[in-house]
Amino acid sequence: MTADTGAASAAPMKSNDRRLTYEEFERYSRQMIVPGMGKHGQLRLINSRILIIGAGGLGCPAAQYIAGAGVGTIGIVDGDTVEISNLHRQVGHATSRLGWKKVDSLIAHLKDINPLPNYIPHPFHLDPQNAADIITQYDLVMDCTDNPATRYLISDVCVLLRKPLVSAASVQKSGQLIVLNCPPAPQGLVDKKYPPCYRCCFKKPPPPSSMVSCGEAGIMGPVVGMMGVAQAGEAIKIIASALHLPPSSTNDLTAPIPERNLQQPTLLIYTYDLESAVGPYSFRALRMAGRRKNCFACGENSTLTLEGIKTGNPNYVTFCSPPTTDHAL
Amino acid sequence: MTADTGAASAAPMKSNDRRLTYEEFERYSRQMIVPGMGKHGQLRLINSRILIIGAGGLGCPAAQYIAGAGVGTIGIVDGDTVEISNLHRQVGHATSRLGWKKVDSLIAHLKDINPLPNYIPHPFHLDPQNAADIITQYDLVMDCTDNPATRYLISDVCVLLRKPLVSAASVQKSGQLIVLNCPPAPQGLVDKKYPPCYRCCFKKPPPPSSMVSCGEAGIMGPVVGMMGVAQAGEAIKIIASALHLPPSSTNDLTAPIPERNLQQPTLLIYTYDLESAVGPYSFRALRMAGRRKNCFACGENSTLTLEGIKTGNPNYVTFCSPPTTDHAL
Amino acid sequence: MSETAAEPKMAITVDFSGGLEMLFSNQRRHALSIPAHDKDGKPSNIAFLISHLCKTLMKDPRTDLFVLDDHIRPGILVLINDADWELEGEEAYEIQPGDNILFVSTLHGG
Amino acid sequence: MSETAAEPKMAITVDFSGGLEMLFSNQRRHALSIPAHDKDGKPSNIAFLISHLCKTLMKDPRTDLFVLDDHIRPGILVLINDADWELEGEEAYEIQPGDNILFVSTLHGG
Ligand SMILES: [Zn+2]
Ligand SMILES: [Zn+2]
């Protein structure tokens, strides 16, 4: 762990005007010359800490581009090991690393793409007991998981710790992507057009009988790949443009959020069709509502706390009563 | 090279009803259970030969998913070597392979994702002299190149050899994707709604002064990554569903093309914005015209021939008069 | 003529996505002509459309994958002209001619 | 009142993509009110729109990146309501109120 990993939610603005090293400049030159990125955006990436939860079909491509872009600290959470049925879509793993912990396999691959970031393995599944302790070490969270219980848990902790969340999901020939809780606003504040959390958009999980996992229902590699790469794109822009932070003159997270950052929340859906080429309905951008007044997690009278989550309140398992699912995906 | 590599444009339908090996079944199970794919689609992938031209920002992610999906023969064309400024987006290369030929570096990576395909390196740039000899060995071509002269050359040869072409491009914060010449129709046939070639859609290259390469103008990794993964998705569906072939009862390439395969040609454009989240204008699907009656390459009175191309007619360099560009991208 | 006037119809499109299309003949887009009013003479709203779809369009017997207790089942988003139905009044939204209604199943895989 | 009648306007949106937005104040979407007729009294068409944009909307002096010899420069696609202008009559297409015209630069990088 780096020295500043313990600094919890302090905004990582401190060394955003240092010089780049020669290697940094060489590595990142092609993205630094893109209008709007520049040295300033690059330093924000270098000084940021991103947590990728799930090292599977979404997490692999997402992590490749997060590492390539030079994000300074990259944490990866996953308790699974690499299986041969993963490899058609989990392109950060390899046949030579079958049986490895996925976090170790993916980090080995990422280190060879870019040795400069600080990679932090969390080789176990996220659960209500460890979630806050892990998430608090990062500036932004990417939900690349495969089950609803973990998705609600991640969102709840991100609301309480005020972390922006880039969430994606994919099964068979469909994919979804949404940026949540960005910029983060204090729990209970509903007087302005604050952004939604996962629960604002997806109030209740589907009944277990209607849920399908990638193991049961299958998944096309490029479909989940598109969503993972898109997640990386959203995470990079949030950090590079500081879309999650108050104006740079202040580090006060309760300062008013700039207008430009309060965008219409959008759920992107991707529909892949084996029988026809990409067309007008392949991608749809759906306008979602903002923060809900009565949201269980972020709403006006929310009683959700980090303490409660740790001690089993809410109970994510009974809330989602998940099917017995092939977890290794 | 495999035994059937020499069999030029014979349709690869011969062993589409054999049994899968145990390893094939294990590797591809998660995509085989996707509705519409199945064992039949998987065997078509295994028996197919795909050529990826360009092992850069598009070619790397495209190749990862093409290899993962189990395409049986994968050719890669590129004359460049791996440079450190490539690595933020060319995620199939690695720091430990700096200075390697890109085709060798990418194939080393792909072999570890999936050792089953037959990988064929073409470690030089495509040019008018070698283009037809290489392209004729494959069933489908993916244009992952970085300059207009090669793009027109690839399309012209694909028209003459009747190969479907999945074409993408990307610079800075923009990407484009289009499926061309699919299903392929004989040159000069314009009486039906045949699909366009690259020249039908993009009649003339821009003047050199207005062209920008990724080296000069920069490129965001996830933008070119999205386009590369999308290309893999289109190539996989074309092969798995045989969208490029006459009805399976016949191997006669001049047989009438089934209605379902004659789709409205669509140009997908992707616009990435560093200042705002994914939204309604991030993806647009544009309706393009079909084959043009007077197209230089595929139209009614076209004089384009493979012989001509080899002997300098047309001259792609003067047609595009490219700027002195950093080719190593 | 009088019969048409007695049962005015309106043309809308209904889309299914995220796997729900499998419940509706594996077809993602349906161009429909639906009654402009319910049997009580009130303008057709989303609640009416949902029961109408169950009765007339759904061939799959597993209706509980679409409707539970007469409401859309949890885990399905309803979009009215690409906007979350919460922005439009949910079940009570009165459908207009030409509307596009999208039902999309929430995904959790990765 | 008579002045308005003498110079009727129509509202359209004009989009720039693929890098062309850099020539137009770095703004991708412009809601414009353009003259309904050209100075000869003919309905405004795409050719008119292109010269109108050069005169009124383009601040960048490099007009040759958008127009060459009075026509749109090679390497720029023109889309009328998301359809290639070849499907609509190219420069001669008469613009309708509410139309969306998209100019997109062809990309070659990879
Ligand atoms: Zn909420
Ligand atoms: Zn053509």
* Contact residues, chain A, for C84 at CB < 8 Å: 201, 267, 286-289
State CA C37 to chain mean position distance.
Answer: 14
C2-105: CATH topology: Ubiquitin-like (UB roll) (3.10.20)
Rounded to the nearest angstrom, the minimum Cα separation between C43 and chain B is: 30
**CB spacing of C108 vs A144 below 8 angstroms:** no
Whole-number Å distance, alpha carbon B201 to ligand 2 midpoint, is 7
What are chain C's partners, defined as 3 or more CB pairs within 8 angstroms? A, B
For chain A, what is the largest distance between any 2 Cα atoms, rounded to a whole number of angstroms?
55
> Which 206-235 residues of chain B touch chain D by CB within 8 A?
206-207, 209-214, 217, 219, 224
The pLDDT score that the predictor gives to residue B69 is: 98
Per-residue b or e along A270-298, where b marks 16 or more CB atoms closer than 10 Å to that residue's CB: bbbbbebbbbebbbbbbbbbbbbeebbbb
Element (H, E) at A51: strand A49-53
- Whether pLDDT at A23 is above 90: yes
Closest partner residue to B269 (CB to CB) among D18, D29, D84 is: D18
User: Which range, of A166-180, B123-137, C62-76, averages the lowest pLDDT?
Assistant: C62-76
Element (H, E) at A232: helix A221-240
- Count A/B contacts: CB-CB distance under 8 Å: 271
Range of the domain at A309: 48-320
The pLDDT score that the predictor gives to residue B121 is: 98
C-alpha neighbours within 13 Å on the C-beta side of residue C42: 9
The pLDDT score that the predictor gives to residue B253 is: 59
| Cis amide prior to D61 (ω within 30 degrees) | no
* Contact residues, chain A, for B243 at CB < 8 Å: 275-277
The chain C residue lying nearest B280, using CA atoms, is C82
Name A131's Cβ contacts closer than 8 Å, sequence gap at least 6.
A153, A154, A157, A309
The pLDDT score that the predictor gives to residue A248 is: 54
Work out the average pLDDT over A222-245: 97
3-state secondary structure at position B165: strand
Whether the CB of B267 is below 8 Å from some CB of chain D: the reply is: yes
Distance CA A190, CA A291 (A): 7
Stretches in chain D below the pLDDT threshold 50: 1-4
Domain annotation covers residue B110:
yes
Q: Which ligand is nearest to the CA of A293?
A: 1
Q: Which of B52, B174, B231 to substitute to test the interface with D, most D CBs within 10 Å?
A: B174
Whether the CB of D79 is below 8 Å from some CB of chain A: the reply is: no
Work out the average pLDDT over B243-265: 70
Name B47's Cβ contacts closer than 8 Å, sequence gap at least 6.
B12, B13, B14, B15, B16, B72
- Whether pLDDT at B4 is above 60: no
The pLDDT score that the predictor gives to residue A209 is: 72
* Contact residues, chain B, for C22 at CB < 8 Å: 35
Whether the CB of A165 is below 8 Å from some CB of chain B: the reply is: no
Whole-number Å distance, alpha carbon B295 to ligand 2 midpoint, is 5
- Whether pLDDT at B2 is above 90: no
Whole-number Å distance, alpha carbon A283 to ligand 2 midpoint, is 27
Distance CA B173, CA B154 (A): 25
Domain annotation covers residue A29:
no
Distance CA A106, CA A108 (A): 5
Structure tokens at B291: 């084959």
Distance CA A173, CA A281 (A): 13
Work out the average pLDDT over A30-40: 96
Distance CA C97, CA C109 (A): 36
What pLDDT, in 10s, does the model give residues B60-89?
A: 999 999 999 999 999 999 999 999 999 999
The pLDDT score that the predictor gives to residue B7 is: 39
pLDDT class of A85 with cuts at 50, 70, 90: very high
Q: Is A206 exposed, middle or buried (0-12, 13-18, 19+ CB in 10 A)?
A: buried
What percentage of chain D carries pLDDT values higher than 70?
A: 95
Name A37's Cβ contacts closer than 8 Å, sequence gap at least 6.
A31, A240, B218, B220, B274
* Contact residues, chain A, for D22 at CB < 8 Å: 35
* Residues B77/B53, Cβ–Cβ less than 8 Å: yes
Q: Please report the beta strands in chain B, taking only residues with DSSP state E, as ranges in sequence order.
A: 49-53, 73-77, 118-122, 140-143, 165-171, 174-180, 266-271, 283-287
List the helix and strand counts (H, then E) for chain D.
2, 7
In degrees to the nearest 10, what's the CA dihedral of B205, B209, B210, B211? Answer: 70
> Which 172-211 residues of chain B touch chain D by CB within 8 A?
172, 174-176, 201-207, 209-211
The pLDDT score that the predictor gives to residue B325 is: 44
Q: CATH number, domain at A266?
A: 3.40.50.720
- Are there at least 3 beta-carbon pairs closer than 8 Å between A and C? yes
Distance CA A233, CA B222 (A): 5
* Residues B286/D82, Cβ–Cβ less than 8 Å: yes
Distance CA D81, CA D88 (A): 10
Whether the CB of C22 is below 8 Å from some CB of chain B: the reply is: yes
Whether the CB of B35 is below 8 Å from some CB of chain C: the reply is: yes
Work out the average pLDDT over B96-110: 98
ipTM above 0.85, yes or no: yes
Domain annotation covers residue A18:
no
3-state secondary structure at position A316: helix
What pLDDT, in 10s, does the model give residues A139-169?
A: 999 999 999 999 999 999 999 999 999 999 9
Work out the average pLDDT over B144-151: 96
User: Which range, of A94-98, A251-255, A304-308, averages the lowest pLDDT?
Assistant: A251-255
- Alpha carbon distances (Å) from C20 to A63, A203, A269, B312, D71: 30, 19, 13, 54, 48
Whether the CB of D22 is below 8 Å from some CB of chain A: the reply is: yes
Q: Which ligand is nearest to the CA of A299?
A: 1
- Whether pLDDT at B154 is above 70: yes
Name C98's Cβ contacts closer than 8 Å, sequence gap at least 6.
C11, C12
* Contact residues, chain A, for D82 at CB < 8 Å: 280
Highest mean pLDDT among A312-321, B23-32, B202-211: B23-32
**CB spacing of D110 vs B204 below 8 angstroms:** no
Whether the CB of A130 is below 8 Å from some CB of chain B: the reply is: no
The chain D residue lying nearest A34, using CA atoms, is D19
Report which of A268, A57, A270 is spatially closest to residue A175, judged by C-alpha positions: A270
What pLDDT, in 10s, does the model give residues C1-47?
A: 444 456 899 999 999 999 999 899 999 999 999 999 999 999 999 99
Work out the average pLDDT over B132-140: 98
Q: Which ligand is nearest to the CA of A294?
A: 1
Q: How many distinct structural domains can be found in chain A?
A: 1
DSSP structural state of residue A6:
G
The pLDDT score that the predictor gives to residue A14 is: 52
The pLDDT score that the predictor gives to residue A16 is: 78
* Residues B178/B290, Cβ–Cβ less than 8 Å: no
The pLDDT score that the predictor gives to residue C3 is: 44
**CB spacing of A30 vs B264 below 8 angstroms:** no
- Whether pLDDT at A11 is above 90: no
Distance CA A321, CA A211 (A): 11
* Contact residues, chain A, for B37 at CB < 8 Å: 218, 220, 274
**CB spacing of B279 vs A263 below 8 angstroms:** yes
* Residues B65/B58, Cβ–Cβ less than 8 Å: no
The pLDDT score that the predictor gives to residue A255 is: 66
Work out the average pLDDT over B165-190: 96
The pLDDT score that the predictor gives to residue B255 is: 67
**CB spacing of B329 vs D83 below 8 angstroms:** no
